[in-house]
Structure 1
Amino acid sequence: MVVIVTFVITAVCFAVIYNARKIWVINQDRRKGIYPPQDNATLFDVRHLIMEGKVDLAVRLYREIFGVNQHEAEKAVNELQRSVFENN
């Protein structure tokens, strides 16, 4: 029983730290001007993140803008990434 409780507490702590780090990274990128302000993002910002090599942030921003799930956002960002680099 003690092992299970310890495992659950460890898992919860890991999840909290992981999510806090993601929030910290986005706030840092907002301060640097890489990630757009809340409720002010456009598809152009997603494209800019792709061109900067920050595909993971582009997926997250795409999800924020369009309210889609992770799989749909990854698929859309990958298609956008192909079109961006085909044109350059």
Structure 2
Amino acid sequence: MISHLSLGLHPDERKKQLASLIKAGKIKFGGYKKNKIYGLLNCSSGKRMKVENRVFFKDEQEALQAGYRPCGHCLPQAYNIWKLTH
């Protein structure tokens, strides 16, 4: 799990570092640490969160191991499966 704020001191620096990590395949999902929800990087719900609450994961397994649940908006099938088991 990577905190968005840990990617740099300035917004431009964080944006550049984030783009590099996405391009390298080291980040594939974003998460909201307050409610422990993860989803796709292009999810409209995730794009509205504050930077200090944003984290990133390399895959779904890493997000699940960290105790996060799937987003009901961008990952409805995974969310429905998660909901049935919790």
User: Considering the TM-score relative to the shorter chain, is it more than 0.5?
Assistant: no
The TM-score, its normalising length taken from structure 1, stands at 0.29
Which is greater in Rg? 1
If asked which structure has higher relative contact order (CA below 8 Å, sep 6+), I would say 2
The TM-score, its normalising length taken from structure 2, stands at 0.29
Structure with the bigger percentage of strand: 2
Structure with the bigger percentage of helix: 1
